[in-house]
Amino acid sequence: MKLFIDFGFYIREGWANFTRSRMLSLFSILIISISIAIITLFSTVFFNVDNYLREMENNPVYSIFLTPDTSAKEGKDLALYLETLKGISDVKLVMPDESMKKLARRFPLAGEIQKTLEGNPLPISIRLRIATPSVIKVRQVLKQYSIVESIYSPHFFLSQLKSLSSAVSFFIALIAAILVLASVFTIYNVIRITILARQNDIAIMQLVGADMKFIRAPFTVEGTLQGLSGGILGALFGSGLIYIIRTHYLVHFQYLPFLSRITSLPPSYFVGIILLSVAMGIFGSTMAASRIDYV
């Protein structure tokens, strides 16, 4: 029961402190929200790259290009055969006209190339999505077919992208760590300033017998509120930025499907980011409050 009474007191006092030092609280919230917005942006990039890589690894899409003299029937027969194999989730026969239309959508100059060449140079191809890469060895299966000219698989690209992604992830983590430290430092200093401004009150509280936890805990609550407000605002601001970038800028990059498919973070990530911000508030303010000494 006493614990609840004490906790209620800390919350009330912390809220009163938070509203009393409005300008300082706003400054702290601003810094935290900028940091959290940047962390949200980076997390979105990381989340999408990670998802893309995972999808490419778990469900790779092979493009099988057939020789120029392959007839539509031969292509269709091969596609039907591939559909019967285990471990394949999707087979699509792509005729040259469809390939050219797709290419023209991504690169408007493709139409000009077709005119210059007086015909469609693109071959019949088959798009193959693998459900369980461990079950099927695509290259081995297709080796016996003379109509198969070349096979494009994402593995080479995947390994390059993976090493690039891990390098980028390291820098993202480094920048995020710097932002977290900067926010904790800001909260620490803001709470230190409020403690200095209330030094007289703190001395009086101590002289009338207030326990240190009664004096320190409201400052921790104040820091937590700054962290929570900054976290929510930063996450909203960050996702707003992602929305604007996606709808206004990335739509122009049709030829890079990854960019046009960028999605915002799932709710669990937002909860995690806000919790991180709250933890920064708790840590910074607890450090500052722990420096209050006995009178």
Partner 1 sequence: MIHFFHVSKVYEKGNRALHEVNVSIGKGEFVFLTGPSGAGKTTFLKLIFREELPSYGRVVANNQNTIALGKRRIPDFRKKIGVVFQDFKLLENRTVFENIVFILNVLGYPASFLRDRAFYVLKLVGLQHRYDDYPRQLSGGEQQRIAIARALVNEPLILLADEPTGNLDPDLSLEIMALFEKINSRGTTVLIATHDREMIKQMRKRTLYLDHGHLQEHRK
Does 196 help bind partner 1 (rule: CB under 8 A)? Answer: no
**The only residue of 67, 169, 206, 264 in contact with partner 1, by rule CB under 8 A:** 206
Residue 146 main-chain phi, psi, to 5 deg: -75, -20
Closest CA to 284 of 233, 228, 241: 228
Does 22 help bind partner 1 (rule: CB under 8 A)? Answer: no
| Edge-to-edge strand list for the sheet holding 61-66 | 88-94, 125-130, 61-66, 148-152
Does 74 help bind partner 1 (rule: CB under 8 A)? Answer: no
Q: Do residues 205 and 214 touch, judged by C-beta distance below 8 A?
A: yes
**The only residue of 7, 19, 20, 254 in contact with partner 1, by rule CB under 8 A:** 20
**Cα–Cα dist 66/64, whole Å:** 6
Locus of tokens 């690894």:
57
Does 11 help bind partner 1 (rule: CB under 8 A)? Answer: no
Does 205 help bind partner 1 (rule: CB under 8 A)? Answer: yes
Straight-line distance from the first to the last Cα atom of the chain, in angstroms, rounded to the nearest whole number: 29
Query: What character string, x for contact with partner 1 (CB under 8 A) and - otherwise, covers 153-192?
Result: ----------------------------------------
The nearer residue to partner 1, 109 or 208, going by C-beta atoms, is 208
Q: How far is the CB of 25 from partner 1 (least distance, A)?
A: 15
Residue 70 main-chain phi, psi, to 5 deg: -70, 130
φ/ψ region of 87 (left if φ > 0, alpha if ψ in -120 to 50, else beta) reads: left
Does 209 help bind partner 1 (rule: CB under 8 A)? Answer: yes
Does 208 help bind partner 1 (rule: CB under 8 A)? Answer: yes
**Cα–Cα dist 103/161, whole Å:** 23
Q: How far is the CB of 202 from partner 1 (least distance, A)?
A: 10
The nearer residue to partner 1, 10 or 65, going by C-beta atoms, is 10
Q: Which residues bind partner 1 (CB under 8 A)?
A: 1-2, 5-6, 8-9, 20, 200-201, 204-212, 214, 294-295
